[in-house]
Amino acid sequence: MSENYIIEMRNIRKEFPGIIANDNITLGLKKGEIHALLGENGAGKSTLMSILFGLYQPDQGSIFYNGKEVKIRNPNDATALKIGMVHQHFKLVEVFTVLDNIILGAEDSKFGFVTKKAARKKVEDLMERYHLHVDLDKRIDEISVGMQQRTEILKMLYRDCEILIFDEPTAVLTPQEIDELIKIIKNMAKEGKSILFISHKLNEIMSVSDVCTVLRKGKYIGTIKTSETTTTELAKMMVGRNVSFKVDKTKANPKEVIFKVKNLCVLDKTTKKNVVNNVSFEVRKGEIVAIAGIDGNGQSELVKAITGLDHSTSGTIEFNGVDITKKSIKERIELGMSHIPEDRHKHGLVLDFNLSENFVIQRYRNNEFSKLRRIFINFAARDKYAERLIDEYDVRSAEGISTVTRSMSGGNQQKAIVARELDRPHNFLLAVQPTRGLDVGAIESIHKKIIKDRDNGYGVLLVSLELDEVLNLADTIYVIYDGELVGKFENDNIAPEELGLYMAGGKRMDLEENKEE
């Protein structure tokens, strides 16, 4: 029956309290195949892979390795079966060199001393064979994210893994790095490695994989050859309805300037370097301005300075004609600033609060939600408001408005934040990675709402690492590199590769905005 599958997972079922994460899922992986695993947030992809890697035990179902049933109780068992995994967040020791990280846990020793000579030879051979070059003597904190990922891949190859699992490997990479990675993966498959590739990005799946298995809400939907399908069909399988990728939007109709940043600098206290360096730009009412860039080029610091979470060292921020550089967060909120934060757990939500409490976190003292001279909470008004937001923004949860947000899936947490920020009276929206980790269905709806915000005549500043998102939404695009704005584009027919060059620091233009007056 099993047509020479190297690994086969049959009828896997895994339950967590209150949730069926995997419901009767079957997956077969052939030798030398690139098998993609596609699904929305919370579809159970990661759970399934965690079961294969021995992090969870399935409640039902069995795993076959070369036709023989095996039990994988922990990651060591998985390694013994030559199964390796690159996690979404790398598991590397930052202060070790690349080589040390690769051999860590599998190092040779002589009289109790580590010997690296043979290991180095082996790693160098591997690098040659798979065209996967990394500087072995650099420390992890000195190399780029793409290089770190290569280190992770080498780690698996060094352990002679035959089955390689990639958990959303492209989430952190630039377009160029993604192309490289796809080449590497194809190369490895050619050498006979079998690859499982988790993603919710359809384009990647189309370009890299041979076969694709789709999960939806913990259920197995189907397995399909990628050569015989289209992105539209895959999206439909994944979401269960038709999805449009391009958000329809009319041409922007910008009016007066609502938000203006002039020569803004933020100094990093430890490195004594400007992490935001002389940044100037404007956002007008009725337009979406995007700041594109690779993670860690000063976006977070810029956002913190704009929102007041941190101080800027010099420069001015003007909002609605008021200089808000020194104003408190509360004053900025009262002036009409809405902010979808980058880190939904750190800033976006009080995880131990329920939905209804989280929805009013900026406005709990407003007359609307309090009574008796703002001393007491108006529970009735608050709950009614929360019910409306849940309905309108399709926030799904187990217990409605009294769901503790900690127990919700990441996607729904994000939807709750978006609901709060868009529904709050505002005239300027700062959206940082508004669709981080969301699936196409949710992305579509959030993008529509952001565009509606623009069409309502609000100013929108979008800070995103996803190039697709930037290209989809923005009217004007700035590229940030190393804390500086290095490019400005009007969004009509820009080639993503061109933007990629600016993002990677390969090119820059002189912006008028940067010039001192």
Partner 1 sequence: MEVDGKYIVGLRHSKLRDTSISVFSSVISAFIGLIVGFLLMLFAMIFTNGANAFAGLGIMFAGPFNGTYVALEFGNMIFYSVPIIFTGLSITLAYKTGLFNIGAPGQFFMGTLGCLLVALNINTVGNRFLGILVWILAIIVGLIFGMIWGSLAGLLKAFFGINEVIASIMLNWISANIVTWVFSLNSSIINSDAGKSGYLIKTAQTGNFSPSLGLDQLFSGGTSKSYLDIGIIFAILMCVIVWVLLNKTTIGYSMKACGSNREAAKYAGINDKKNIIFAMTFAGGLAALGGCFYFLNPNIEFAFNSAYQNLPAWGFNGIPVAFLANCHPLGVLVSALFVRYLNSSGTYLPVAGYNQYFADIIIAVIIYLSGFTRFFKERIDRFVLRREEKRAQASKEIEGVVAEVTSKKEPNAFVKFFINAKDYVVHLFNKIFKREKKTSENEVVVEKKEETEGGDK
What residues line the site for partner 1 (CB under 8 A)? 14, 16-23, 41-47, 217-218, 307, 309, 328-330, 332-334, 339, 341, 346-353, 357, 361-362, 364-365, 370, 374-377, 396-400, 402, 409-410
Minimum CB separation of residue 361 from partner 1 in Å reads: 4
Alpha-carbon distance of 114 to 42, in angstroms, equals 43
Minimum CB separation of residue 426 from partner 1 in Å reads: 13
Minimum CB separation of residue 362 from partner 1 in Å reads: 5
Cβ closer to partner 1: 21 or 471? 21
Query: Burial of 339 by CB count in 10 Å (0-12 exposed, 13-18 middle, 19+ buried)?
Result: buried
Minimum CB separation of residue 176 from partner 1 in Å reads: 30
Which alpha helices (H) appear in 308-409, and where do they start and end? 329-334, 355-359, 379-393
Alpha-carbon distance of 250 to 254, in angstroms, equals 12
Minimum CB separation of residue 402 from partner 1 in Å reads: 8
Cβ closer to partner 1: 120 or 217? 217
Minimum CB separation of residue 69 from partner 1 in Å reads: 16
Cβ closer to partner 1: 52 or 477? 52
Number of Cβ within 10 Å of residue 130's Cβ equals 20
Contact criterion met (CB below 8 Å) for 435 and 445: no
Cβ closer to partner 1: 278 or 397? 397
Minimum CB separation of residue 164 from partner 1 in Å reads: 22
| Residue 349, CA distances (Å) to 60, 72, 200, 341, 388 in order | 35, 36, 25, 10, 19
Cβ closer to partner 1: 28 or 411? 411
Contact criterion met (CB below 8 Å) for 474 and 462: yes
Alpha-carbon distance of 402 to 262, in angstroms, equals 43
Cβ closer to partner 1: 199 or 307? 307
Alpha-carbon distance of 232 to 237, in angstroms, equals 9
Closest CA to 430 of 337, 316, 496: 337
Alpha-carbon distance of 395 to 423, in angstroms, equals 13
Cβ closer to partner 1: 162 or 342? 342
